[in-house]
Amino acid sequence: MPHCGVHSEQIDSSLVRKSLSRKPGHDRILVVISALLFYCGCYFAKSTLPLHIKGLNGSDAVVGRTIAVMSGAALATRWIAGALQDKYGSKPFMVGCSLCLACATLSYRFISSIPLLTVSAFFQGIALGGFATTAVAQIVGGIQSEIERTSALSLFSMSHLTAGAIAPWLALTMATHMETSTILGWATVGGLAAVLPALRVSSLPPKTEKHANTASSRPNVFRDKVFVGASLCYLVWAISYGAIYSFLPLFGQERGIINVGVFFTSFAMINLIGRVFVRHLVLRMGAARLINISSFLVIISMCLLSISRSPFHLAVAGVIYGLGSTGIYPCLAGIATGRGSGNTGMIVALFMSNFELGQMFGSIALGSIISRRGYPAIYRISAIAMFVGLLIFNRMAKPVVAANRETV
């Protein structure tokens, strides 16, 4: 019997080494391709949904609540998927969530009731939360170096950014020529296409005993000042992101700007180019300094966005926002996901859930502010929130991050 146990451990160890050895090449490419297709479908739907709700006589507050429901569903799903990913790997969740996105976006095509539309948005949130969490866990699992995690996350985020450059611009351009319900139906293609590469991903094997103690690792993460500081900074950045994707199309309508898609395209293209240089920038100046510079650029872009009155203004704001966002996600995520031992899926879920928290509470609060203060006010508030988040990061996380860099 002892011999059998040793043999079993050797087989498990061999499977782990084989899975991890495939990740840098084969699996990462498959995950990035699947994510690109998935996010194309997701952004296609998300950028059109506010216009569709307004077409059904929904108010700005209804738009905010619908986005909040989507974000809340994604938030809850992240925690569940993060825990289960540590047991079963990423593949089943990536496939299942892609199919869920396809079904949710297809249902928009046939729904004319806001309550039913909210139900579909709920399932789109489930798809987004489950897919994003498990895909990122697949990307960073097994990587010990903070710089290498940042580089891997920069690679993964290119799928997100490419989709963000193409899908909103295309969807909002199509919205000037056809019904929004038809455009929402087309988002189904992205979800279905994402299934194909996801099926070829080799899931990480279940955790071995040295990573099984989730009860002891989770509380340590919550008490970790670096993790908390990075998470809160990411949360307030998500407020600005939600203000853009939830309300910018409506802001453009009010200002008479024909196609606000120029913002999304300029933002995503600059951000995409910038991500190529993230590793070099982190090595040159350190993650903490890059986060500070990036945050100030986001603040400037939000202020500029609040006074925009033409496509040119939106394009410039998009460029600055793209430059600012270049370092925020990969650096904060690279710092935060390395603060726990094992339980990669759960740590990723805890960090990334701040994205939904920021969008959820931000959409509700900002949606209610619009009726009293107007659209420009929400972008000024987002700038203030980003400044507060930066102060928190510098207070809680920057000293430790800077000290770690000096010892490398």
Task: Tell whether 267 is covered by a domain.
Answer: yes
Question: In whole angstroms, what separates CA 177 from the centre of its chain?
Answer: 30
Residue 392: pLDDT above 80? Answer: yes
Task: Please give the average per-residue pLDDT across 117-134, as a whole number.
Answer: 91
Task: Tell whether 198 is covered by a domain.
Answer: yes
What DSSP character marks residue 209? G
Helix axis angle, 225-255 relative to 344-373, nearest 10°? 40
User: How far apart, in whole angstroms, are the C-alpha atoms of residue 295 and residue 173?
Assistant: 30
Task: Tell whether 184 is covered by a domain.
Answer: yes
* Cβ contact 305:379 at 8 Å: yes
Residue 20: pLDDT above 50? Answer: no
Helix (H) or strand (E) holding 33: helix 28-55
Structure tokens at 235: 């949360």
Task: Tell whether 335 is covered by a domain.
Answer: yes
Q: Phi and psi (nearest 5°) for 107?
A: -65, -30
User: How far apart, in whole angstroms, are the C-alpha atoms of residue 335 and residue 123?
Assistant: 30
Residue 11: pLDDT above 70? Answer: no
Higher confidence at residue 21 or residue 165?
165
Give the pLDDT score at 246. Answer: 80
Give the pLDDT score at 402. Answer: 60
Highest mean pLDDT among 82-86, 275-279, 386-390: 386-390
Give the pLDDT score at 203. Answer: 61
Structure tokens at 131: 């897919």
Give the pLDDT score at 315. Answer: 93
Residue 219: pLDDT above 70? Answer: no
Give the pLDDT score at 109. Answer: 84
* Cβ contact 364:64 at 8 Å: yes
pLDDT tens per residue across span 308-367 = 999 999 999 999 999 998 888 888 888 887 776 556 677 878 888 888 788 777 777 888
Residue 17: pLDDT above 50? Answer: no
User: How far apart, in whole angstroms, are the C-alpha atoms of residue 162 and residue 168?
Assistant: 11
Give the pLDDT score at 341. Answer: 58
Number of structural domains, the chain?
1
Of 50-54, 116-120, 165-169, 381-385, least confident by mean pLDDT is 165-169
Give the pLDDT score at 174. Answer: 85
Task: Tell whether 210 is covered by a domain.
Answer: no
User: How far apart, in whole angstroms, are the C-alpha atoms of residue 233 and residue 354?
Assistant: 9
Of 45-49, 158-162, 322-326, 385-389, least confident by mean pLDDT is 158-162
Distances (CA, A) of 30 to 149, 201, 272: 18, 6, 19
Higher confidence at residue 27 or residue 192?
192
Mean pLDDT of the chain: 81
Domain containing 189: what range?
26-203+216-407
User: How far apart, in whole angstroms, are the C-alpha atoms of residue 1 and residue 13?
Assistant: 18
Structure tokens at 367: 């949606």
Give the pLDDT score at 217. Answer: 43
Residue 247: pLDDT above 50? Answer: yes
Residue 127 neighbours by CB distance under 10 Å: 29
Structure tokens at 394: 């510098």
Task: Tell whether 199 is covered by a domain.
Answer: yes
* Cβ contact 369:377 at 8 Å: yes
Angle in degrees, CA 130, 139, 295, rounded to 5: 85
Alpha helix segments (H runs only) across 277-397: 278-285, 287-306, 311-336, 344-373, 375-396
Higher confidence at residue 14 or residue 113?
113
Closest CA to 193 of 373, 30, 360: 30
Distances (CA, A) of 54 to 112, 254, 367: 12, 12, 13
Highest mean pLDDT among 24-38, 48-62, 317-331, 358-372: 317-331
Give the pLDDT score at 1. Answer: 42
Task: Tell whether 6 is covered by a domain.
Answer: no
What DSSP character marks residue 210? G
Q: How confident is the model at residue 131 (pLDDT cuts 50, 70, 90)?
A: very high
Task: Tell whether 16 is covered by a domain.
Answer: no
Residue 207: pLDDT above 50? Answer: no
* Residue that has been written with the tokens 């496509």 in this structure: 311
* Residue that has been written with the tokens 């806001």 in this structure: 114
Give the pLDDT score at 124. Answer: 93
Closest CA to 293 of 331, 349, 242, 247: 331
Structure tokens at 275: 């991500």
Alpha helix segments (H runs only) across 56-90: 60-88
**What CATH code is carried by the domain that includes residue 341?**
1.20.1250.20
Residue 6: pLDDT above 70? Answer: no
